[in-house]
Amino acid sequence: MTPAKLQPDQNSALLDILSHAEVYSEVRNFRNQGTLGKYGPPFNHLDGEPSTSPALQALLSKFVLTLPGLRDVSKEFWQERIYVIIEDFEKAELSESFDKGNLGIRKTLATAASALIEYPVRGVFGGLEKPVGDDGYREYDLTNPEDLSKGFRDFVHHAVYGDVIDDLIAKVAETDKLSEHLPIVQAAHEFILVK
């Protein structure tokens, strides 16, 4: 018997579920003292040991540590200053239980942080499929929700694989009227407003 193959929407849903669970678990693990010592670079870490927070560590390494200004920061800054700040949060013993019927502070912070972080994690681990065909821009009906959704997806694809951002910047330098921008930009703008 061959295992059933997941459909693309099932793969996407599974990635959503797993990334949410993983990020929440990694953020929540900071309640345990010593978690940061097993986190990975740029913090103190034993060579050869896998990171206990692979999703968070991947985001930090791929994005934060490559930013101008942060990429030149010394290891001592991360290992001595930032490490101490995060370690103090670990030692703070913020409430995790339900206090008088309300969520505790630690659980609230972990939930909020993981909700924000899980989206870039999905992007890093899931990637963005390169569109097949349709290299140009098309027209969108700004009153049709399906067209707005398609326009936003097209905008994201062209931002990653094309030059829609360059086109947008050039047009912004010329005019401040949205109606004079490319249809793909107008559709993405309307989608963001509705969402």
In angstroms, the CA 62 to CA 110 distance is: 22
Lowest mean pLDDT segment, chosen from 11-20, 37-46, 91-100: 91-100
Q: Does residue 157 surpass a pLDDT of 70?
A: yes
The token pair that represents 182 in the structure block: 């490319």
- Could you tell me if 154 and 164 are in contact, meaning their C-beta atoms sit under 8 angstroms apart? no
Residue 94: the pLDDT is: 57
Residue 152: the pLDDT is: 86
- Could you tell me if 18 and 6 are in contact, meaning their C-beta atoms sit under 8 angstroms apart? no
Name the strand (E) or helix (H) holding 24: helix 8-28
Residue 136: the pLDDT is: 62
pLDDT digits (tens, 9 = 90+) for 64-76: 888 888 888 888 8
Mean pLDDT of 41-69: 79
Question: What residue ranges do the domains of the chain occupy?
Answer: 8-126, 145-194
pTM for this predicted structure = 0.60
CB-based burial label for 53 (10 Å; 0-12, 13-18, 19+): buried
Q: Does residue 48 surpass a pLDDT of 80?
A: no
Residue 102: the pLDDT is: 62
DSSP state of 81: I
φ/ψ (deg, to 5) at 102: -110, 155
Please report how many Cα atoms fall inside a 13 Å half-sphere around the Cα of residue 26, on the Cβ side.
25
Q: Does residue 134 surpass a pLDDT of 70?
A: no
- The segment with the largest mean pLDDT, out of 91-100, 127-136, 169-178, is 169-178
